[in-house]
Chain A
Amino acid sequence: MSGLMKLLAGDAGLLAGKTTDAILSTNDVASQYGLSLTYEQASELQKVHAQALRGSGRIEIGDSMIDRVILAFCDSPHLTADNYADTIGQLVELFYYMKTDTLEQIPDDELLEKMKDFFDGKCGGSLELLANRELEQMARSIRAYGTDTPPEETAETAAKDAELTDFDTQEDDKWRTIRL
């Protein structure tokens, strides 16, 4: 072990990512949709971001995802001035959680795009449905089949599945348990 990560971790500024000012600069775009962040909210988002990275055991180098999440979601019809900062914070947390949960298989942009599609579409702006239904299903599919959409069921696959009904499956956040 070189121990060099300690050297970098010792200087929080190096790994901290975007400054509050950089987050605030997204107001230029978001304000076109009637949304903006205050300095306090931007500062709070920075903390949420750092905590989300720590919580998901990840390291980010370079541009922080906060502004990319903001720019991806600010045109959503489900965001209002009241829920804007909170929702962005939760989306940032969800983003890093999903990176790990999908086994690093989805690029940043693609994940953001899918999150946005689900959030605006099937989930109707519900973060709970986004996290616990759509993204969960997508992650499960990636873990099981290596693709974000499960293979379509045909008569042949249905027959095969029927043969394999002699076991129970259980899933939690991380593991899929099969009991024969």
Chain B
Amino acid sequence: MADHSLIKHIALDQDRIDYGAFTLSLIQEARRVGMLNDMDAARIESELLSLLRAQIVKITHGESSSVPESTADELMDGIGYCIDLALKSQATPADGINLLKNRPVEAVYQIGADILNTEAKACVPLLSRVRATRTRTVNEAYRITLDSTLPGLLRAWQSSPFPHDFMVITEYPLACENGTTGIFAVHDRLSSLALENRFCAHFSDGLERLLEQYAHQSRVSPADAYANLFLIALRNLLLNLLLGRGGMELDAQSAAELEQKLLPLQESQRQALIKHAADLLLAQCAFENPKLDDYVRAAAADFADDLNTAGGRLEPFAVLCTKEPEMVLADGETLNDEDFALLADEILICETVEAKIRILHTEVHSLADLVDLLAADCIFEEEYPMVFDSFEPSVQALLLSRMPFEDAEGKIRAQREVEWQLRYASYLNRLPDSRRDAVLRQFHALGS
């Protein structure tokens, strides 16, 4: 009779293990190399079935012996997710097989479920900490993520019987996202936010101003800006350190000078410079938090990669301080609805465009009313150029500030299909360059 104990198993072939369907592929591979025999496999299958049955009883309250295939698939995927986690938590795949061989499947499932529950429990105090140390900002994405999305995700997790397909999407972008899923992604986001909050607290004085500048550059409001506060602060701090100074504020001239130095460098040189600046920053800040130090270094390394991708150009990354506005609008009183309607009617029935222009210049005292009248169908198609022409460059610049547009190779293009805006863009494009430039100069001199 053969002594089976002397038979050595062939090692598991790692290439045959699919990490997307870990348990299934591991069982199949273990059977192939003889680490699991037919009896083991039959026991595992039978115990899996018992687990599935228990979950079906749970969701149907014991009132249905059958479920749609899609429901059974989802339940089994949830079971598989927990078992995958338990097996992956072992030191090697062979240890995972030994776990399956020596413990009931339900116990293995429970190991995975416990890993998930531990992670979920750890999220609760972490969320409290993140909210308690929140960065004071007007940014809505940040606020919604902390006050609504993350608490909602934790609630959804607790009520979800199918943890394998748990989607984690937040409004606020993080500096470093590592591609985890499920409750691990929630935990990672919270951990990152805790670190980012700590960093931002160190630079809280200038952060909101920096966000305003970023928003101005991106033509959005600071509340609506899709920006990571930590990242915009870190990048400007690093760039300033490369210029040999501290602080977050960066003016256009300094940025241009720095860019001239960065452009001719090799990628490895740029990486070394950013790394050096990150080390300097960490030394100056002395956070005494190794996790935060690592986070800053990782974000700096990502920044160096992005900078290299852009060939050393700073434009996509640097937040430049805007000059104080040279021209400030002191708007007059806005008409009430009734008076506005009367005025629009009065303009509509004017027999000449000159009469219309006279009313616009004498009766309208606020930019909002002027813009509304331009859109109120009381000025005819052919009259628009003369109306626009009657305004001074400063008023023309103000009108431009009330329409989204792009300046493409010297041509103004309205971004919305609004009649007065399309006609205004067309009017400006027909102006001599010197006059159009004067309007644009005044437009850029306006405060945000």
Which chain A residues border B49 with CB–CB below 8 Å? 8, 14-15, 61
Contact of B66 among A5, A14, A99 (CB under 8 A): A99
Please report whether the interface of chain B is mostly helix, strand, loop or mixed according to DSSP: helix
Which chain B residues border A11 with CB–CB below 8 Å? 42, 45
Instruction: With a 10 A CB-CB cut-off, give which of A2, A3, A60, A96 has the most chain B CB atoms.
Output: A2
Would you call A59 and B69 a contact (CB within 8 A)?
yes
Would you call B66 and A53 a contact (CB within 8 A)?
yes
Tell me, yes or no, whether A138 is within 8 Å of chain B by CB: no
Q: Which of A42-69 contact B (CB under 8 A)?
A: 53, 57-65
CB 8 Å contact bits of B42-56 with A (1 = contact, 0 = none): 100110110011001
Tell me, yes or no, whether A81 is within 8 Å of chain B by CB: no
Which chain B residues border A4 with CB–CB below 8 Å? 23-24, 48, 76-77, 79-80, 83
CB-nearest residue of chain B to A10 = B45
Tell me, yes or no, whether A151 is within 8 Å of chain B by CB: no
Question: Interface residue count for B (Cβ, 8 Å)?
Answer: 34
Shortest CB–CB separation between residue B276 and chain A, in angstroms? 46
Would you call A108 and B63 a contact (CB within 8 A)?
yes
Would you call B76 and A5 a contact (CB within 8 A)?
yes
Tell me, yes or no, whether B67 is within 8 Å of chain A by CB: yes
Tell me, yes or no, whether B64 is within 8 Å of chain A by CB: yes
Tell me, yes or no, whether B232 is within 8 Å of chain A by CB: no
Q: Which of A72-124 contact B (CB under 8 A)?
A: 96, 99-100, 104, 107-110
Tell me, yes or no, whether B196 is within 8 Å of chain A by CB: no
A2 to B48, CA, bound (A): 12
Shortest CB–CB separation between residue B164 and chain A, in angstroms? 7
Shortest CB–CB separation between residue A180 and chain B, in angstroms? 30
Would you call B66 and A7 a contact (CB within 8 A)?
no
A110 to B62, CA, bound (A): 13
A77 to B96, CA, bound (A): 59
Q: A2-B21, A59-B66 are in contact. Are A7 and B27 (CB under 8 A)?
A: yes
Tell me, yes or no, whether A174 is within 8 Å of chain B by CB: no
CB-nearest residue of chain B to A108 = B64
18 A-B pairs in the complex with CB atoms less than 8 angstroms apart:
A1-B20, A2-B21, A2-B84, A3-B80, A7-B24, A8-B48, A58-B67, A58-B69, A59-B72, A61-B52, A61-B66, A62-B65, A63-B65, A65-B65, A65-B66, A104-B68, A107-B63, A108-B65
Across the A-B interface, give the 9 residue pairs with the lowest CB-CB distance, nearest first. A2-B80, A107-B63, A60-B66, A3-B21, A59-B72, A3-B24, A4-B80, A61-B53, A58-B66
